[in-house]
Homo-oligomer: A and B are copies of this chain.
Amino acid sequence: MELSCKSEYALLALLELADHYSEHEPLQIRQIAAEQSIPDRYLEQLLATLRRSGLVRSQRGARGGYILAREPWKITLLEVVSSIEGTDIQPSELDREAKSLEGLVIREVWHEAGRAADAVLQKYTLQDLAEKRNSRQQLDLMYYI
């Protein structure tokens, strides 16, 4: 399980959007990028991908920006990650499958492992992450006192 910059940036950005979700006003790329120290031109690409996947909506023009397309508790981490990571290939998923029985069996186990990981990502929502962070913050405060 590699944690790519892409996925982490996307999650950080969506977390930021989740924090301001109640305001019903769009957040600009610049603000998100500044808050989470993400290169803005790169974040733009990621948000474009998330928009095409229907996870965020964009508003163009002055006072525009991005808003979550759904409530933060209705967006799972799996949706985010597979939107951002799995863009590349669908046309030939079977291209390398049929090589040998060994190859087939290996791919089956791999698939099982992948589904186990996906299950974890699916049970967490953006809301869950934000709450996790908040309670962590409170713990830090307690230690400080």
Contact = CB atoms under 8 A, between A and B. Distances in A.
Interface residues of A, number: 37
A48 interface: no
11 contacts: A3-B107, A11-B106, A12-B100, A36-B100, A105-B132, A105-B136, A109-B120, A109-B124, A113-B117, A113-B120, A116-B116
A119 B116 contact: yes
Interface centre among A107, A119, A120, A121 (most CB of B within 10 A): A120
B129 A106 contact: yes
A36 B107 CA distance: 15
A77 B133 contact: no
A84 interface: no
